[in-house]
Amino acid sequence: MIPSKLNRENISIAIIWLFHLSGILGILYGNSEWFISATPLNLSINFVLLLINCNDHKWFFPMVALGFLTGMITEILGVQWGWIFGDYQYGEALGVKVLGVPLLIGVNWALLTIITGAIAQQFYQNILMRIIIGVGLMIFLDLLIEPIAPILDFWVFEVGEAPLQNYIGWTAVALFLQAVFHYFNITIKGWFSHQLYLLQIIFFTVLLIKQTTIGI
């Protein structure tokens, strides 16, 4: 009989820790270009494991679809016409694109909405406070990623650094997605979402520190 600790969630958490720590060590001490190029694989694995571990609520998959479509549509508007987030273009690191936007960006919007919403619901019963916390967690991660995104060939703004419009746009889109998530009271059980968010914070913080000290 398999020990209770070796359940689906714990195995999934072990996998994401393995991939993120391997990525950190690889970028710091190994072939950084190869490990950066593996970002699409890492994000895809994160997303699949999220679907496996957090799908108990009846509105979970509709929320994932909404997050994906909202992310893709708003990003396409940004890339094609400079609306919402400002004038920017995506690099090649994130894989296949539709109208200039990698499909993984839509995946990431869905993933980030779910994991931050899951964390936010642990703090308050009040829906407004949950929405505020969820939005704050989403913006915080974006703040970490923006300075190194051009270096990783994720995306680059025409003006160089991400403009204020980007963060206003992020807040607006995050507010909409978090409002829907908490309005339907999508309950996410377990700790997978918390672990995944923590790992993303650690991963991009390490990269940011390395870039500001010795470069990637």
Domain ranges of the chain: 8-213
- Does the pLDDT at position 76 exceed 70? yes
Residue 215's pLDDT band (boundaries 50, 70, 90)?
low
- Does the pLDDT at position 111 exceed 60? yes
154-to-31, 84, 131 alpha-carbon distances in Å:
18, 18, 27
Which DSSP state fits 99? T
pLDDT tens readout for residues 6-63: 789 999 999 999 999 998 888 878 777 788 788 889 999 999 999 999 988 999 999 9
With beta carbons less than 8 A apart as the criterion, state whether 140 and 61 touch. Answer: no
pLDDT tens readout for residues 149-178: 998 899 999 988 999 999 999 999 999 999
Dihedral of CA 133/135/137/139: which sign? negative
Can you name the residues that pair with 88 across neighbouring β-strands? 157
Which DSSP state fits 160? B
d(CA 147, CA 160): 10
d(CA 106, CA 157): 19
The mean pLDDT value for 57-70 works out to 97
With beta carbons less than 8 A apart as the criterion, state whether 23 and 35 touch. Answer: yes
- Does the pLDDT at position 1 exceed 50? no
